[in-house]
Structure 1
Amino acid sequence: MAVNVPGLISIIVFYLLILLVGLWAARRTRQKEGKASSEHVMLAGRNIGAFVGIFTMTATWVGGGFINGTSEYIVKDGFVWCQAPFGYSVALALGGYFFASKMRSQGYITMLDPLSRKYGERMGGLLFIPALLGEIFWSAAILSALGASLSVILDLDSTISIIVSACIAVFYTLFGGLYSVAYTDVVQLICIFVGLWISIPFAFTHKAVGDITVNATANWVKELDPVYIGLYLDSYLLLIFGGIPWQVYFQRVLSASTVRNARILSYAAGVGCIIMSIPSILIGAIATVTDWNQTDYAGTVPIPDEDMNLILPLVLQYLTPQAVAFVGLGSVSAAVMSSADSSVLSASAMFSRNVYKLVFRQKASEREILWVMRITIFVVGILATVMGITVKSIYTLWFLCSDLVFVVLFPQLFCVVYLSWTNTYGSLIGYILGLFFRLAGGEAVLNIPVLIKYPYYNDADGQLFPFKTLSMIISLTSVLVFSFVTNYLFKNEILPKKADIFKCIVNRDDVGKPRKEYNEQIEMSPPDENSGKMNPTFAYSNDDIQGKAHAN
């Protein structure tokens, strides 16, 4: 079939809208701030206000994968298994309550900063790996969703659409950094909300669509089989706690204009996630009561599992007028680009600062760091594009996003924020053991074989025991136990000082002080509860250090 020219034109219009907003934000930034530093590009000068902040924080999770994946699972397994919107909503609320204030008040630049400062730069570089994979998986899910949508409605090759979309997102991110990301997020959420809600009345009133309230339990709400309770709880815990330690989230937290705003943005975004999931839930419910034989749909009926990721674009294409379908598709396309930019910027920020600068080039200039960021944006964009083209299930990618982050990063972040006595030995052992037990459970999507068959395992369903949560608990326990043991052994001189090879307990030049790359001493006065701002005083020993707090 030929490409749908009117639809292609409408998509180009949406693409240009996002691109122009991104470039406008970049130009506005340069005019206002002059020559940008790497920190300014990463955090938008820590000047994101409440209005833009709520939009960009909500867009942390609301993207193409969120929109398409929610509809996919309403049809595939029912509302009872539509966990991601609610799990991530709780994650944002908990992140705001337990982590936002502590991270923002310390003036960190990336999520990995406290980890690098506490456990060492090389350990911070090691922790970058699961953070990077999470961002790539998330970007791939977003791009995969777009390819599915365009292939259905426009008969456009999904590979081409994914590549073009990724290129546009990368292009304006290079120029505007977080400012461009934040302002395009505003457009993204407006497009999603308006575009999908416009399509729903038309879909509801189509002659092929039945009443979603009739036999709802059997059609789209469904019930939870007790056999899968362990898997169900595992998935929710993964989404809730695995939804916190993300650079794409903390980038918004750390860019908030005040400490108080950092908390408020998190709470508001949690509510926003639920609100933004409603159109996708309704579209999925509509698809379950549709007689596809009464439409122009020429595919297999009932729709096979491998095509469930196409549910949302199929509803737009066959149950709404063509013009409405184009508006709905445009909203998804805008969401995809505006979400992909966040992930590539987050990954590049962590690499350029926590790996390149702190591990390899402590004396790197600002110009050098900026160029490393730009190169990394290209590399991450390419990796996400390749995975988005090759992996089929959007929702599977969505869960994979949080797997390694949940098992490896959450215990580390929790310990470094709340437990000052943990050390590098515990961090490394916890990292290794958590990763081992998670990978030993297997992962069919990545062709990782099952090494450990946890309780209730069977060949048909796979792992039914909450082994991901178990792996996280093993990781957390390992950090605590090995930190306690090594602290005891070294401080009581049971082990000689020279055995402290990581130089994190007794064999340090300045025991109890930050490492040399963080030698600036930041003295924080208590936060002003009326404004939420910190009142910092500084005494730097190295001008290259970027881990300083900002007076707002």
Structure 2
Amino acid sequence: MSILDTLVILLYFFILISVGVAGVRKARTSEDFALAGRNLGLFIYLGCLAAVILGGASTIGTARLGYEFGISGVWFVAMMGLGITILGVFFARRIYGANVTTISELLGRRYGKQTRLLSALVAAVYTLMVSVTQVIGMGTIINVVLGWNLTTSMLVGGGIVLFYTILGGMWSVTMTDIIQFIVMTVGIFVFMLPISVSSAGGWEGLTAKLPAAHFDLSSMGADKIFQYFLLYVLGMVVSQDIWQRIFTAKTMKISRNGAIYAGIYSVAYALALSVIGMCALAVLPGIKDTQNVFASMALEVLPSGLLGLILASVCSALMSTASGTLLASSTLVTHDILKQYWFKDISDEKFVLMSRIITLLIGALAITFAIWIQDVLVALDVAYAILSGAIFIPVVMGFFWKRATQKAGFYSIVVGTIVVLAGLAIEGITSTNPIMYGMAASLLTMIVVSYVTPADSTSVLEAFKERAEEEEAGSEETGKVSSML
């Protein structure tokens, strides 16, 4: 890279750190730190939601899949887009109306304290693993661009994100995410995509240079596409980092519409990155480590100055998801475990301090795991396999099946988690079967235990329903007042 490109990236990092520091003044309460005061409008909410969905695995992974499989690589992130759209259409009203901070808090309200603790542990592992993927992605980019070894690159990239996340919590994450969303959108759609297509000789040149299979949406294979459905469509519906963003919206309508728009944006992003990967195959057919496809293509085709902007846009995608998932994991640990069992009477000021300390510890753990695993798609597969196999059934049936009992919810998570982990250990972490085994076991456990144990009292179910309806009505009234003002 030229000195100009390096300066652009360093300037970008400096801006993010500065904005993150500014977020400290807004993060005065625990709700500010975890949920940005539940006060985001549509544009900011949409940008933050899209930014947390489209991280390092989405950018680097989709370009890699486009290089290997062609247009079929779109399925990876398109399934995330489908999942977030389903979340907006069918679940946003119920989730937002519950007025909770975490998915575990909602499950605890429905199934009891034991389920809250267990689901918090499972969801915290998931969000930690997603953070790991982003650190791996940042390390990959820095490694290719600056030539540092991968371990050093991960330490630097992960350290920057950890720094501003600790300082301002969700307010810092929100403020930096808007910058990252804009840079990411401009970098990919305005510059990288058209320049890549042009470098490959236009669409006609691309079709002439690549095999026909690269233009077939199914070339990846039905089994892999189905795996992505299980991992990401179902995973998005019960993902704590996504739920935590849902809770930041000012009104229920904003939470629902923003999720739908973010889903549509994700599909467009997936298509753009798949095409960029295809162009890389035409221009650079000999890339050995396909995880470096995007960075290698950028270095090959972009002029000085613009290269720095594009690589900054990739770092934007990585950092936005990393900060969101780090905060989600620390929120689960502090809100659903530490505060519930050891620090019940902690003051709000001390709780914010504790949240910062836990975020630091989880961030250090994420960087350590990233250095150990070093494969962005493998790490993400493990994270979503655990989430989809263990949490999806209890969440959905808790909303839609009145007969589901508290014991059934608890044991369905226990059994689902055990089956998923055992399946991954036996069949390998790239196998789809453990997810289906886990979901089947979770569903069977939910049904059997619900019928062999006494039904929950009507008061428990009514309290759960009434609380959601009251909060939903309150959020809608707040929205009307906000619109009048």
Normalising by structure 2, we get a TM-score of 0.89
Instruction: State the one-letter code of the partner of 1:155.
Output: G
Equivalent in the alignment of 2:441: 474
Q: Give the whole-Å Cα distance in 2 for the aligned partners of 1:391 and 1:352.
A: 26
TM-aligned CA distance change 1:527 to 1:105, over 3 Å: closer
Instruction: State the one-letter code of the partner of 1:478.
Output: T
Instruction: State the one-letter code of the partner of 2:368.
Output: V
Check if 1:450 corresponds to 2:427.
yes
Q: 1:275 aligns with which of 253, 258, 268?
A: 268
Given that residues 348 and 373 in structure 1 are in contact (C-alpha distance below 8 angstroms), is that contact kept between their aligned partners in structure 2?
yes
Instruction: State the one-letter code of the partner of 1:450.
Output: E
Check if 1:169 corresponds to 2:161.
yes
Which ranges of structure 1 fall in alignment gaps of 5 or more residues? 31-35, 293-301, 443-447, 452-460, 489-504, 536-551
Check if 1:211 corresponds to 2:205.
yes
Q: 1:117 aligns with which of 91, 109, 113?
A: 109
TM-aligned CA distance change 1:386 to 1:220, over 3 Å: farther
Q: 2:33 aligns with which of 37, 41, 66?
A: 41
Q: 1:192 aligns with which of 175, 184, 188?
A: 184
**407-416 or 198-207: bigger deviation:** 198-207
Q: Deviations over 1:456-480 (max 9, x none)?
A: xxxxx985x7442242132123112
| Shift in Å, 1:341 | 1.0
Q: Deviations over 1:291-345 (max 9, x none)?
A: 55xxxxxxxxx333xx111000000112222332222111112322222111111
Q: Deviations over 1:250-309 (max 9, x none)?
A: 1111111111111111111111112223432221010121255xxxxxxxxx333xx111
Check if 1:131 corresponds to 2:108.
no
Q: Deviations over 1:484-512 (max 9, x none)?
A: 21126xxxxxxxxxxxxxxxx58xxxx83
Tell me, what secondary structure is at the counterpart of 1:243? helix
Equivalent in the alignment of 2:459: 512
Check if 1:409 corresponds to 2:391.
yes
Check if 1:398 corresponds to 2:409.
no
TM-aligned CA distance change 1:144 to 1:484, over 3 Å: same
Instruction: State the one-letter code of the partner of 2:245.
Output: R
TM-aligned CA distance change 1:188 to 1:212, over 3 Å: same
**336-345 or 391-400: bigger deviation:** 391-400
Tell me, what secondary structure is at the counterpart of 1:59? helix
Check if 1:425 corresponds to 2:392.
no
Q: Give the whole-Å Cα distance in 1 for the aligned partners of 2:311 and 2:471.
A: 48
TM-aligned CA distance change 1:419 to 1:365, over 3 Å: farther
TM-aligned CA distance change 1:207 to 1:233, over 3 Å: closer
Check if 1:87 corresponds to 2:79.
yes
Check if 1:287 corresponds to 2:287.
no
TM-aligned CA distance change 1:399 to 1:280, over 3 Å: same
- Equivalent residues in 2 for 1:214-363 (5 A)? 214=208, 216=210, 218=212, 220-222=214-216, 224=218, 229-291=222-284, 302-304=286-288, 307-363=289-345
Tell me, what secondary structure is at the counterpart of 1:211? helix
Q: 2:68 aligns with which of 64, 76, 84?
A: 76
Aligned-pair Cα RMSD in Å: 3.0
TM-aligned CA distance change 1:526 to 1:124, over 3 Å: closer
TM-aligned CA distance change 1:234 to 1:533, over 3 Å: farther
Given that residues 97 and 468 in structure 2 are in contact (C-alpha distance below 8 angstroms), is that contact kept between their aligned partners in structure 1?
no
TM-aligned CA distance change 1:380 to 1:155, over 3 Å: same
TM-aligned CA distance change 1:449 to 1:416, over 3 Å: same
Given that residues 423 and 433 in structure 2 are in contact (C-alpha distance below 8 angstroms), is that contact kept between their aligned partners in structure 1?
no
Q: Deviations over 1:39-89 (max 9, x none)?
A: 221111111111101101111211222111110111123332442211111
Instruction: State the one-letter code of the partner of 2:459.
Output: G
Equivalent in the alignment of 2:482: none
Equivalent in the alignment of 2:417: 435
Q: How many residues align?
A: 476
Q: Give the whole-Å Cα distance in 2 for the aligned partners of 1:358 and 1:140.
A: 27
- Equivalent residues in 2 for 1:176-187 (5 A)? 176-187=168-179
TM-aligned CA distance change 1:356 to 1:527, over 3 Å: closer
Normalising by structure 1, we get a TM-score of 0.79
**345-354 or 4-13: bigger deviation:** 4-13
Structure 1 or 2: more helix by fraction: 2
Tell me, what secondary structure is at the counterpart of 1:438? helix
Q: Give the whole-Å Cα distance in 2 for the aligned partners of 1:279 and 1:233.
A: 22
Instruction: State the one-letter code of the partner of 1:71.
Output: A
**236-245 or 213-222: bigger deviation:** 213-222
Tell me, what secondary structure is at the counterpart of 2:359? helix
Q: 1:380 aligns with which of 338, 359, 362?
A: 362
Tell me, what secondary structure is at the counterpart of 1:77? helix
| Shift in Å, 1:450 | 3.4
| Shift in Å, 1:513 | 4.5
TM-aligned CA distance change 1:203 to 1:118, over 3 Å: closer
Given that residues 71 and 275 in structure 2 are in contact (C-alpha distance below 8 angstroms), is that contact kept between their aligned partners in structure 1?
no
TM-aligned CA distance change 1:512 to 1:79, over 3 Å: same
Which ranges of structure 2 fall in alignment gaps of 5 or more residues? 480-484
Given that residues 412 and 443 in structure 2 are in contact (C-alpha distance below 8 angstroms), is that contact kept between their aligned partners in structure 1?
yes
TM-aligned CA distance change 1:291 to 1:402, over 3 Å: closer
Percent of pairs identical after alignment?
21
Q: Deviations over 1:63-120 (max 9, x none)?
A: 2221111101111233324422111111111111222111211211212111122222
TM-aligned CA distance change 1:174 to 1:467, over 3 Å: closer
Given that residues 72 and 395 in structure 1 are in contact (C-alpha distance below 8 angstroms), is that contact kept between their aligned partners in structure 2?
no
Q: Give the whole-Å Cα distance in 2 for the aligned partners of 1:524 and 1:237.
A: 30
Instruction: Considering Cα pairs closer than 8 Å and 6+ residues apart, tell me whether 1 or 2 has the greater RCO.
Output: 2
| Shift in Å, 1:216 | 4.8
TM-aligned CA distance change 1:526 to 1:167, over 3 Å: closer
Q: Deviations over 1:120-168 (max 9, x none)?
A: 2232111122211211111111111111111112212332232222222
| Shift in Å, 1:409 | 1.0
Equivalent in the alignment of 1:457: none
TM-aligned CA distance change 1:4 to 1:258, over 3 Å: same
Q: Deviations over 1:401-423 (max 9, x none)?
A: 31111011111211222234322
Q: Give the whole-Å Cα distance in 1 for the aligned partners of 2:314 and 2:264.
A: 20
Q: Give the whole-Å Cα distance in 2 for the aligned partners of 1:314 and 1:91.
A: 30
Instruction: State the one-letter code of the partner of 2:39.
Output: N
Given that residues 199 and 301 in structure 2 are in contact (C-alpha distance below 8 angstroms), is that contact kept between their aligned partners in structure 1?
yes
| Shift in Å, 1:4 | 6.4
